[in-house]
Structure 1
Amino acid sequence: MYDLAAFGAWAEFAIRWLHVITAIAWIGSSFYFIALDLGLHRDRNLATGADGEEWQVHGGGFYHVQKYLVAPASMPDGLVWFKWESYSTWLSGFALLAVVYYLGAEFYLIDPNVMDLGVWQAVAISIASLALGWVIYNTLCKLFVDANQTGLMLALFVVLVAMAWGYTQVFSGRAALLHLGAFTATIMSANVFFIIIPNQKIVVADLIAGRKPDAKYGKIAKQRSTHNNYLTLPVIFLMLSNHYPLAFASDWNWVIASLVFLMGVTIRHFFNSMHARKGMPWWTWGATAALFLLIVWLSTAPLARDETRLSSTAQRFAQADGFAEVTDIVLGRCSMCHAAEPAWDGLHWAPKGVHLETEAQIAHHAREIYLQSGLSHAMPPANLSWMEQTERAAIRDWYRSASGG
């Protein structure tokens, strides 16, 4: 049984690596095409009938790029579709969500002090919320397709703020922010799968059949692509947030997450304006810095939530043979750093937000203690508190006893 913990850690690492690789590919191509579209020269009378063109240099070569507003007169050979980057990112992300938060629901997804859920209930809420997000978003886009797009963006922001608050009322802080990122990423990938690519296929089919494509399909696809452009940076922040307790372990975490979306807008507005040759609105960096400072201030607000209830899994570890000995080991070797007020010089908060000062906290973080200090020598870092091999063995024996290994 104990080998499953090591296998799970490596499976998580492999899927996370895949997710990062595919996300880089998707975000890179997305940013490139947004910059390309905004920077096209449209003041030239092109013989080909193209809407705009641009010359670029990269890697020692020159590239001549042209964009057609609807489509070229005939179907070109070797047409490249940019879609698998998006699909692979979402699929690998959902796999990572399942491995970390569904299989480890009692460690990472459920917080009994927030809402005492069964594993199946928490997983069902998670999956349903992702699907619901797409339904709400897609409905709003259809209602606002011919209306003021600023109004649509404001409506979407209200939805995101509501979801940020709602997730924090159901899941642990770590899971809440991660789910808000997954919620947004699902909308982005669904845009590609359900709207952008199908619309492009309609245009291609019309070209093959000799019909003139309807420009509305390009208009709708451009709307969704623009949304993806502004949502990308907040999603990256939310996906990284689970490593930073000052972001997720605050009573104001839902406000922090909401402000991050505004930072995404200000940052992208600067680069979009620059690429469109409309100047460099430096005020956006001042606004971004002000929002970030507000986030920093909110993150240091005192916690008011009483965290005393344990999940059934944590209770099992607290009742396992050797827990008393492991508690003494952790209090002696780890708690000087992993405390609400760390005693180690230079530390102002517990690494990764992990507190190991009480039996309840030690039982809750059983898996991390086992992987970091029992199965590996990652903690204490550089073995600064001189944890002995016999103590690491005691941690392994305790964890395996509780796990049935």
Structure 2
Amino acid sequence: MDATILIHWAEFAVRWLHVITAIAWIGSSFYFIALDLGLNRNVPGPADGEEWQVHGGGFYHIQKYLVAPEAMPEHLTWFKWESYATWLSGVALLAVLYWVGAELYLIDPNVADLSIWAAIAISAASLVLGWVLYDRLCKSPLGDRPQVMMLVLFAIIVAFSWGYTQVFTGRAALLHLGAFTATIMTANVAMIIIPNQKIVVADLKAGRTPDAKYGKIAKLRSTHNNYLTLPVIFLMLSNHYPLAFASEFNWIIASLIFLMGVTIRHFFNTMHARGGYKWWTWGATTAIFAAIVWLSVLPLRDEAPQEEAALSAGQQALIAHSDFEDVFWLVQGNCAYCHAAEVSYPGIAAAPGGVVLETEAEVARHALQIYMQAGVSHAMPPPSQAFLVDEDRALIRRWYRGEGLEE
């Protein structure tokens, strides 16, 4: 079987796993935040609060203890594997899609002419660096001033957002900012929250009084994870929205997404805490989103066409293929009305996926996508708007595979 097809299915499998584990992690996180904020704390006894809930035909009586109940239970359910599995599957997807496909998705010679291994090294190292900076920030004196620390953290996020756009494609830049943030969140669970909870449990089982600092530290990191979740979701989906990742201001858009995530989460957090609806967050969210929309279409690029980056040897070979001219005109007749710098098809504001197919070089650069979308499968073009017969698709396959060339 074609190795390209196997890689494509591997990507699908890992992406599916990533989505499944992310649903489990985010779902449990959102549930516990809502539960903790909604507890009735006007109850007698040692419990910090309780809640009665109904779901699926049953009733649940939940109690929270700041330290532990009088009798420490032998069995405890630890919520950690959801986070670990989400991060591991996410890194696997990053490797399959952006490292294996570095030439197509990660490297933009117009931004930084990197070798494949240099780009991969920057990608991996940035995730580690992000965690180190964040962890040291939390352990600094600013850890006792959470509002100030969050402002400094936001400044770090803005710096990384800008930095990623200086070395990677716009698509990869936003995706990496999401991976950068998700790495912080999972490292919080693996290296701070769970270890601190285990220290408290061990002290209780040994009859010692746990130090309250462990719970305080874990609570701070958990709060950060709560407010970072929504921006991560947007950034992980951003590769579907070229108006976000292919904009001149993509790094500012990505930064504003974090502010919008904070306003949305704050609304739900205060609602769960029964502190009344904070309707001002709706106005703030709308204003931030309006700014993002405006930035996405603000024309900043020079009217003069930019010089195209040099083609790789493989891309040059695709143009030199005897079938290229026929393939090129198939693409122009069936794809370029949507995949253009200025889209002519009504209802589409920008080229889907940021893929433009107007020149020979652009067709060669996106050969793999043309092959997968229109050669191997019938995903493109939309059958109601264009038509490729089987012979046309066979031509695309033969061209991409380099078949039919004269010796």
Note whether the superposition's TM-score is higher than 0.5.
yes
Name the SS of the counterpart of 2:259 in structure 1. Answer: helix
For structure 2, the residue ranges without an aligned partner over 5 or more in a row are: none
Question: Whole-Å Cα distance in 2 between the matches of residues 292 and 315 of structure 1?
Answer: 42
* Secondary structure of 1:357 counterpart: coil
How many angstroms apart in 1 are the aligned matches of 2:330 and 2:369? 15
> What is residue 359 of structure 2 aligned with on the other side?
358
Q: Matches of 2:311 and 2:31 in 1, distance apart? A: 46
Q: Which moved more, 1:131-140 or 1:143-152?
A: 143-152
In structure 1, what is the equivalent of residue 19 of structure 2? 20
| Other structure's SS at 1:379 match | coil
2-structure distance, mates of 1:303, 1:108 = 23
Which of 257, 277, 282 is residue 280 of structure 1 equivalent to?
A: 277
- The corresponding residue for 2:267 is 270
Matched, 1:85 2:86: no
Partner residue of 2:372? 371
Q: Secondary structure at the match of 1:381?
A: coil
Question: Following the alignment from structure 1 to structure 2, what is the Cα–Cα distance between the partners of residues 73 and 310?
Answer: 70
Residues 379, 303 of structure 1: alpha-carbon distance in 2 compared, 3 angstrom cutoff: farther
Q: Give the Cα–Cα distance (whole angstroms) in 1 for the partners of residues 77 and 116 of structure 2.
A: 43
Give the C-alpha shift of residue 341 in structure 1.
2.0
What SS does structure 2 have at the residue aligned with 1:66? strand
Instruction: For residue 332 of structure 1, report the CA deviation from its aligned partner.
Output: 1.9
- Residue 238 of structure 1 aligns with which residue? 235
Tell me how far apart the structure 1 counterparts of residues 133 and 346 of structure 2 sit (CA, whole Å): 49
Q: Which residue of 1 aligns with 2:166?
A: 169
The more displaced of 332-341 and 168-177 is 332-341
Q: Match for residue 8 of structure 1?
A: 7
1:194 is the counterpart of 2:191:
yes
TM-score when scaled to structure 1?
0.95
Displacement of 1:321: 4.1
Are the aligned partners of 1:317 and 1:399 in contact in 2 as well (CA < 8 Å)? yes
User: In the TM superposition, what whole-angstrom CA distance separates every residue of 1:30-71 from its partner, at most 9, and x where no partner exists?
Assistant: 01111111111222222xx11111111111111111111122
Shift of 1:303: 5.4
Q: Residue 384 of structure 1: CA displacement?
A: 2.6
Distance in 2 between residues matched to 1:146 and 1:164, nearest whole Å: 23
Higher relative contact order (CA 8 A, sep 6+): 1
- TM-score between both structures, scaled by the size of structure 2: 0.95
CA contact (8 A) 2:143 2:149 kept: no
Give the structure 1 partner of residue 33 of structure 2: 34
- Residue pairs, 1:6-405, within 5 angstroms: 6-46=5-45, 49-144=46-141, 146-302=143-299, 304=301, 306=306, 308-312=308-312, 313-382=314-383, 384-401=385-402
Deviations 1:191-238 (A, max 9, x none): 000000000111111112111111110100000000000000000000
Task: Decide whether aligned partners of structure 1 residues 189 and 146 sit closer, same or farther in structure 2, where only a CA change above 3 A counts.
Answer: closer
Note if contact 1:310-1:364 (Cα within 8 Å) is conserved in structure 2: no
The total of aligned residue pairs comes to 400
Percent identity at matched positions?
68
Q: Distance in 2 between matches of 1:57 and 1:307?
A: 63
Q: Distance in 1 between matches of 2:348 and 2:179?
A: 32
Aligned residues of 2:165 and 2:251 also touching (Cα < 8 A): yes
Q: Does structure 2 retain, via aligned residues, the 8 Å contact 1:71–1:213? A: no
Of 13-22 and 378-387, more deviation after overlay is shown by 378-387
Larger deviation, residues 125-134 vs 315-324: 315-324
How far is 1:277 from its partner?
1.2
CA–CA separation in structure 1 for the residues paired with 2:196 and 2:77: 15
- Once the two structures are overlaid, the 10-residue window that deviates more, 50-59 or 20-29, is 50-59
